[in-house]
Amino acid sequence: MNLAAAAEAPYKDPSIPIETRVSDLLSRMTIQEKIGQMAQIDRTVASQEVIRDFGIGSVLNGGESAPAPGATPAMWADMIDGYQKAAMSTRLGIPVVYGTDAIHGHNCIVGSTIFPHNIGLGAARDEDLMVRIGRATALEVLATGVPYPFAPCIAVCRDPRWGRCYESYSEDTGIVRSMSKIILGLQGFPPTNHTSGYPFVAQGGGYVMGCAKHFAGDGGTEEGIDEHNTVSTYEDLSRIHLLPYIDAMAMGVSSVMVSFSSWNDVKMHAHRFLITQILKQEMSFQGLVISDWEGVDRITSPPGLNYTNSLEAAVNAGIDMIMVPLDYEKFCKSMNYLVSSGQIPISRIDDAVTRILRVKFILGLFERPMADRSLFSMFGHERHKELAREAVRKSLVLLKNGKGEEKMLPLSKNAPKILVAGSHAHNIGNQCGGWTLSWQGSSGNTTKGITILEGIKKAVSKETQVVFEERPDEKFLSENNDLSYAIVVVGELPYAEFLGDSKELRLALDGEEMIKTVCSSKVKCLVIIVSGRPVVIEPYVDMMEALVAAWLPGSEAGHGIADVIFGDFDFHGKLPRTWFRRVDQLPMNYGDPHYDPLYPLGFGLQMNNSSLSDGNVSSSSSSSV
Ligand code: GLC
């Protein structure tokens, strides 16, 4: 017992039980302080004065409001420590918790390790790998002072036309449940007697609080339209989209983020039955439920139509922390009105603040409020790059190898002359995809890493001439008719959320043209698709000698892909989702009637063309949402 701390205020004494600390602190708080704790505001409006004067509970950067890409870990840590100093100077000294979207590594800052996006990890199907990626991600975000990554997304994407399909591990609930083990890497392993639903973060530092998102049915909307409506029975919603949350509860996930979407036309942000009755009561979730960005405003169309009503609906539905994120004054004013008028009962406020304080105590924020600068060396660590390289290797899916008996892969490292072509061969921004340095991501030399061309050049012998021509035409090919083979790397351009919704699912730029031009010539061609989801390829498969799905492989794509196509490692990946023939078949998921894919869920070849497919999909795959 820390007698001095206990004498001053029990909540400051780390030697007493968490729930005692929570109750003690809650009992000391004014209604304004409680309302302030329920606010999460963006860093662009989060001055130290605002944090102190409003008693703000949390600060975030959205995809578009991260510090400048060139900001160093020390600059991030200084920024967050600044917010913390303001928070600790308040009457009760409640620390703020800073959140960011670290959804495939610490993707807001140059130099971090950018792991493959979730769809590629779903292809790898390696739980141990997920834990290690979670661990590495936790260390890299903590190295910059961030204790709260908004990850993992445990959406079950049921239609690849959804712009967030790459954030989903799979169309199959069982695979999503398996890959959610990343939570154990982020937060640590709870003890065997851990109470499911109670938040857990391993003590002593080095771990972060996770965020299972987006609750619920975000990946089941009609036609894959982002933020739209999931129509289903409760039974289907439960076995397809809710099951992964059961696992998240068992792992002690600290927070759950609510989906922008609706279930049977009721906005999730106002869904008391699912948030309070199912998540908090039936699943016994004791952590904090956070809204999405302006999720309260988007309860109405147009957003913010009657903010006070929406706020009442959202908080009474069970949302504990509101990602405001900008107009904190309107939030606080509306909340004060709703509480004083009794439209939001004080018991609901106390439940929300209890959960917020509980997570902050469990996270160790009261004892370790400032950035742990001893972790700077973890940022972009070589071991993490090697881990990402392993993840790339395991995520690759071989869909075709050779037109007859003769196999194209593994490629020779000693060929005299090879062509590397395509818009995604030498473009780190394209290989990382969305949520990289910015919300939408962008093409070009956006961060550190190894492009696919660079990986190929490193892997082949010194005697091999590697010709890089992004858009070869017939003239080029006729002038280079001595090629041993060609590698055509094409795909989708970076996108995120609703801006990635697509009805066409076509290769970007001149991807289809490149395949036709190069693969219809005499030279044998390997096509590598860099995309966030299956795209239209059926018309071109016959002309390809070999075909690999690489998904959005991240900063270490170059070495990871070279490791496999040149045979140092065999293929391991299996399709995490159905590869359709035509978009007019969609939605089409394993188990649906009239299932007629180009390549089925689980399909994958090894170099010798033996099948990796184990048909190992969960029973919940057969359904319509
Ligand atoms: C976004 C996303 C959510 C993200 C949040 C904060 O709109 O829906 O996944 O965590 O806002 O950037």
In Å, what is the CA distance from 401 to each residue of 66, 585, 609, 611?
42, 26, 7, 11
To test the pocket of ligand 1, the residue of 292, 294, 439, 495 to mutate (highest count of ligand atoms within 8 Å of its CB) is 292
Per DSSP, 528 falls in state: E
pLDDT tens digits for range 548-566: 999 999 999 999 999 999 9
Reading across the β-sheet that carries 229-230, which strands appear in turn?
Answer: 229-230, 262-263, 266-267
Residue 281 CB partners (closer than 8 Å, separation 6+) = none
Residue nearest to atom 11 of ligand 1 (CA): 293
- Residues involved in catalysis: 292, 497
* Res 299 pLDDT > 60: yes
Q: Which residues line ligand 1 (CB under 6 A)?
A: 62-63, 101, 150, 213, 292-293
- Whether cis (ω within 30° of 0) applies to the bond prior to 562 is no
Residue range 43-48: average pLDDT? 97
> How would you classify the pairing of strands 266-267 and 262-263?
antiparallel
Amino acid at the residue 369 = P
CA 380 to mean position of chain CA atoms: 18
Rounded to 5°, the CA angle 401-409-525 comes to 70
Residue 619: other Cβ atoms inside 10 A: 11
> How would you classify the pairing of strands 288-290 and 255-258?
parallel
DSSP per-residue codes, 235-299: HHIIIIIIHHHHHHHHTT--EEEEPSSEETTEEGGG-HIIIIIIIIIIS---SEEE--TTTTGGG
Instruction: Let me know if 584 is exposed, middle or buried by CB neighbors in 10 A (0-12, 13-18, 19+).
Output: exposed
pLDDT tens digits for range 315-340: 999 999 999 999 999 999 999 999 99
Q: How far is the CA of 424 from the centre of ligand 1 (A)?
A: 26
Helix segments in 145-231, DSSP class H = 173-179, 182-187
Residue range 137-154: average pLDDT? 98
Element (H, E) at 77: helix 73-88
User: Please, which residues bridge with residue 60 across strands?
Assistant: 42, 99
Residue nearest to atom 7 of ligand 1 (CA): 293
* Res 614 pLDDT > 70: no
Residue range 229-240: average pLDDT? 98
Cα–Cα distance measured from residue 187 to residue 212, given in angstroms and rounded to the nearest whole number: 12
User: Please, which residues bridge with residue 400 across strands?
Assistant: 547
Q: How far is the CA of 292 from the centre of ligand 1 (A)?
A: 6
Band of the pLDDT at 1, cuts 50, 70, 90?
Answer: low
Cα–Cα distance measured from residue 359 to residue 538, given in angstroms and rounded to the nearest whole number: 49
Instruction: Give pLDDT, residue 4.
Output: 67
CA 397 to mean position of chain CA atoms: 20
Residue nearest to atom 3 of ligand 1 (CA): 292
In the predicted model, what is the mean pLDDT of the chain?
96
Instruction: Give pLDDT, residue 405.
Output: 85
Residue 539: other Cβ atoms inside 10 A: 12
Residue 125 CB partners (closer than 8 Å, separation 6+) = 175, 178, 179, 573, 574, 576
Cα–Cα distance measured from residue 401 to residue 410, given in angstroms and rounded to the nearest whole number: 9
> What string of H, E and C letters represents the secondary structure of 134-150?
HHHHHHHHHCCCCCEEC
pLDDT tens digits for range 84-121: 999 999 999 999 999 999 999 999 999 999 999 999 99
Residue 373: other Cβ atoms inside 10 A: 15
Cα–Cα distance measured from residue 454 to residue 427, given in angstroms and rounded to the nearest whole number: 10
Residue nearest to atom 1 of ligand 1 (CA): 293
Q: At what angle do helices 382-395 and 557-565 cross, to 10 degrees?
A: 50
To test the pocket of ligand 1, the residue of 98, 101, 166 to mutate (highest count of ligand atoms within 8 Å of its CB) is 101
Residue nearest to atom 6 of ligand 1 (CA): 62
Instruction: Give pLDDT, residue 6.
Output: 63
Among 436, 371, 324, 374, CA closest to 147 = 371
Residue range 508-521: average pLDDT? 96
Q: How far is the CA of 350 from the centre of ligand 1 (A)?
A: 26
Q: At what angle do helices 307-317 and 346-363 cross, to 10 degrees?
A: 60
Q: How far is the CA of 597 from the centre of ligand 1 (A)?
A: 32
Amino acid at the residue 410 = P
Cα–Cα distance measured from residue 499 to residue 162, given in angstroms and rounded to the nearest whole number: 9
* Res 623 pLDDT > 80: no
Instruction: Let me know if 24 is exposed, middle or buried by CB neighbors in 10 A (0-12, 13-18, 19+).
Output: middle
Residue range 274-294: average pLDDT? 98
Instruction: Give pLDDT, residue 616.
Output: 53
Instruction: Give pLDDT, residue 625.
Output: 61
Is the CB of residue 177 less than 8 Å from the CB of residue 125?
Answer: no
Percent of the chain at pLDDT exceeding 70: 97
Q: 323-354 as b/e, with b when 16 or more CB fall inside 10 Å?
A: bbbbbbeebbebbeebbeeeebeeebbbbbbb
Q: How far is the CA of 600 from the centre of ligand 1 (A)?
A: 31
Instruction: Give pLDDT, residue 529.
Output: 99
pLDDT tens digits for range 408-437: 999 999 999 999 999 999 999 999 999 999
User: For the chain, which domains are there?
Assistant: 26-100+291-370 (3.20.20.300), 382-621 (3.40.50.1700)
Cα–Cα distance measured from residue 526 to residue 409, given in angstroms and rounded to the nearest whole number: 8
- 59 three-state secondary structure: strand
In Å, what is the CA distance from 195 to each residue of 4, 261, 363?
31, 30, 17
